Homo-oligomer: A and B are copies of this chain.
């Protein structure tokens, strides 16, 4: 497997030249487009290749964890009242919005508006506590207690996240959320700025794939039902408006982030983390998608 991963990194590395590093937050533009790494974890162990330990900010890949914690704190029915699960057919920062109304049906947990809304469902006396509990979940699932916020990216997001502010105020205008927008966005911006590596993503993905359990210990970290829910939601729209294409070509529930990471969960089989910061026009890591496509076809990972 390790050799296979190295072959894949080699074969796909030219794609790192074809994408573009995210520019919407100044801090993200500093990423090195040549970085390219992958990590696979299954019951037999952990396999690494390329820049598997380079840190990058998790960005939208935190969304499955926000959903997971909202589910664990509230149950599925409460979550669904606030946030739908249908694909919007639109870019990551859009509503499926009809000019006249904004309801749970118009958002989903994998787009910004839905993820911001779900942050309000994370338990916590204060917004700081909400974030701490989310970070704690990320640390537990990744088995990496040193996960923490990249302060430069966090401050950069906070300063320039105008569209997220617009989305949050729209949610508030339509009474979908009720709390202070600045404090809520602070949770979201911090959450997106948590620094991870491919290995961290692969570990989290493995827990999702393995019905809530770690590979080594057989301890249940999250309810199997919610692991399945998160996989399903990722399959439907984890790759933004490229989710259908990804289902065809790769066939694995996955979530991408504009930091260049992709977390992919092959149910009952393995967790995968990939990283390459040069993005395709839809905001997904270009070389990362290609690597997953090749891996899926070579060893038959498609769930379809």
Interface residues of A (CB under 8 A from B): 76, 84-91, 94, 96, 98-100, 108, 162-163, 165-170, 172-173, 181, 228-229, 231-233, 235-237, 241-245, 247-248, 251, 253, 267, 302-304
Q: How far does the alpha carbon of A251 sit from the alpha carbon of B166 in the complex, in Å?
A: 34
A243 contacts across to B, CB distance below 8 A: 86-87, 236
Query: In whole Å, how far is A245's beta carbon from the nearest beta carbon of chain B?
Result: 6
The secondary structure that dominates the A interface is helix
Q: A251-B228, A303-B267 are in contact. Are A87 and B162 (CB under 8 A)?
A: no
Chain multiplicity (copies): 4
Closest to A110 in B: B244
Q: Does A98 lie within 8 Å of B98, measured CB to CB? A: yes
Q: Does A237 lie within 8 Å of B304, measured CB to CB? A: no
> What 8 A-B pairs come out closest when comparing CB atoms?
A87-B87, A89-B89, A166-B169, A85-B244, A231-B304, A163-B173, A162-B173, A86-B244
A-B contact pairs, 29 of them (CB 8 A): A85-B244, A85-B245, A86-B87, A86-B244, A87-B87, A87-B88, A87-B89, A87-B237, A87-B243, A87-B244, A89-B89, A90-B96, A98-B99, A108-B244, A162-B181, A165-B166, A165-B173, A165-B181, A166-B167, A166-B169, A169-B169, A229-B304, A232-B248, A233-B244, A233-B248, A235-B247, A253-B304, A267-B304, A303-B303
Additional 20 contacts, C-beta under 8 A, given A232-B251, A236-B244, A303-B304? A85-B248, A86-B242, A86-B244, A86-B245, A87-B89, A87-B236, A91-B99, A165-B165, A165-B173, A166-B167, A166-B168, A169-B169, A229-B304, A231-B304, A233-B244, A235-B236, A235-B247, A236-B236, A237-B244, A267-B303
A167 contacts across to B, CB distance below 8 A: 166
Query: In whole Å, how far is A235's beta carbon from the nearest beta carbon of chain B?
Result: 6
Q: How far does the alpha carbon of A91 sit from the alpha carbon of B100 in the complex, in Å?
A: 8
Q: Does A89 lie within 8 Å of B96, measured CB to CB? A: yes
A244 contacts across to B, CB distance below 8 A: 84-87, 108, 232-233, 236-237
A236 contacts across to B, CB distance below 8 A: 87, 235-236, 243-244, 247
Q: A85-B248, A244-B236 are in contact. Are A169 and B173 (CB under 8 A)?
A: no
A163 contacts across to B, CB distance below 8 A: 169-170, 173
Q: How far does the alpha carbon of A96 sit from the alpha carbon of B244 in the complex, in Å?
A: 14
Q: How far does the alpha carbon of A247 sit from the alpha carbon of B163 in the complex, in Å?
A: 30
